[in-house]
Amino acid sequence: MKNIKLYCLQILCGLVLFGISACKENKGFNDPVSSDTSKPGIVTNVKVDNFNGGSYITYDLPNSENILYVLAKYSIRNGVARETKASYYSDTVTVIGFEKSQEYDVTLYTVSRANVMSDPVTVTVHPDTPVYLMVKPTVEVNTDFGGINIRALNPDKREIGIVTVLFNPATNQMDVEDQYFTKSDSINFSLRGYDTQERDFGVYVTDQYGNISDTLFTKLSPLFETMLDKSKFTTFRLGSDTEIGYGWETRYLWDGRTDNSSSGWHTNPGPPPPYVTTFGIGGSFKLSRFTLWERPANFAFNHGNPRNFSLWGSNLANPADAALPVSAPTGTVVGDWVCLQNYTYPNPPSGKPVGSTTAGDEEFVKAGVNFNVPLQAPAIRYIRFSVDRTWTGGNFAHAMELSFYGSPNN
């Protein structure tokens, strides 16, 4: 565990240094312009309001126009010091990044425009439990197709990292295998690319200040996973499937072509959602995940590309037609069909609104996006791809390609 922590600290050193330098950057504090080199007065009436991993410290400033800012100096853990500045125009300085929920001393100084510091004022803070330590008890690690699945809860939606380590027999140590950083309140992701051999995995939680939790160790054997053979896919048109438009037939969803000059699946404009197509996958499979390629280039996050969609399946040899609803809870059964999962396509990485996407956003769409199928989903022979809402909310839908992964249902 000591080796793991030391390695993690080296990895996160850049983040820690960034955090420290961010506290020191010029945020409206002018260069010293005063010739008054007298020592400024101290802050008074100091009060503390604690929160998870930090504290707000409020105070009264001395009555002087020569004060430039208030400086807080403190240690967040053994050997790691931080500084935070607050402008003269504020009565609060925020101290953050503490390793534990315990007492810490924070030293406050006023700093004049001549860069002269006041006498110190020391205040004791007792931050609430840091977010990374709140997340750690919720971490669950389970076997998954081709790897492991990791889940955790982050109700405060604060930036945290989930670090996975894997035993390396060559070094006889646990080496960092993956680092997953997120602000999501519900964390759910999988690591794949492993065979079915049993392995020793470890998972711990970290934050942007270099703090790390204890490691959760587990021994797991990944489930077998393969990409389904698209040459065995077949169109299985049902009466309630949406009419095809512009010659973009369902079979183009597995022709391996995702560029903007190729054809995909496209419905005829007019009817209300859902926009549905049905096809066979060449046998009975328990799905693990799939990749969706939406229409790229200027159609990215636009036009008829799916924004909210569902995957339905049936394991019958000849399932009957049934009109699907616009979205339904996972596990809902409609005739011979069961809802495997509902999905939402990620927002543009740039954060730009629809119609204002960037080249990076277009590259994101071009690469395809992966979606997991719940481990508890049943085996299926046929898929219904059902689009509930597109990016522009129009009366048609389109997509370029779908690839599915899983294991044969023997």
Q: How far is CA 19 from the centre of its chain?
A: 21
Residues 216, 203 share a domain: yes
Closest of 157, 159, 160, 220 to residue 191, by C-alpha: 220
pLDDT tens-digit readout, 305-337: 999 999 999 999 999 999 999 989 999 999 999
In this prediction, residue 36 carries a pLDDT of 78
Chain segment 215-226, per-residue pLDDT in tens: 999 999 999 999
The answer, yes or no, to whether residue 30 has pLDDT greater than 60, is no
pTM, full prediction:
0.77
Show which of 197, 223, 249 is a domain's final residue. 223
CA–CA dist 142, 290 (Å, integer): 19
Residue 359: exposure state from Cβ atoms within 10 A (0-12, 13-18, ≥19): exposed
Q: For the chain, give the mean pLDDT.
A: 92
Q: What is the structure's pLDDT at 37?
A: 81
Which pLDDT value is given to residue 197?
Answer: 96
Q: Check whether residue 390 and residue 259 sit in a common domain.
A: yes
- Grouping H, G, I as helix, E, B as strand and the rest as coil, residue 386 is strand
User: What is residue 248's predicted lDDT score, i.e. its pLDDT?
Assistant: 98
369 or 353, greater pLDDT? 369
pLDDT at 354 over 90: no
Predicted confidence at residue 7, as pLDDT, reads 44
> How many domains is the chain partitioned into structurally?
3
| CATH number of residue 144's parent domain | 2.60.40.10
HSE-CB for 289 with a 13 A CA cutoff: 22
The proportion of the chain whose per-residue pLDDT surpasses 70, expressed as a percent, equals: 92
Among 87, 110, 125, the domain-final residue is 125
Number of residues in the chain: 410
Q: What is the mean pLDDT of residues 247-266?
A: 97
Distance CA 282, CA 120 (A): 75
Assess if residue 18 is contained within a domain.
Answer: no
Give the helix/strand (H/E) hosting 4.
helix 2-11
- Please check whether residue 111 is in contact with residue 38, taking contact to mean a CB–CB distance below 8 angstroms: no
Express each pLDDT in 104-157 by its tens digit.
999 999 999 999 999 999 999 999 999 999 999 999 999 999 999 999 999 999
State the alpha helices, DSSP H only, in 54-189. Answer: 131-135
Identify whether residues 404 and 305 lie together within a single domain.
yes
Kindly state whether residue 359 falls inside one of the protein's structural domains: yes
State the pLDDT at residue 31: 52
- Domain range for 401: 227-408
Assess whether 138 and 118 both reside in one domain.
no
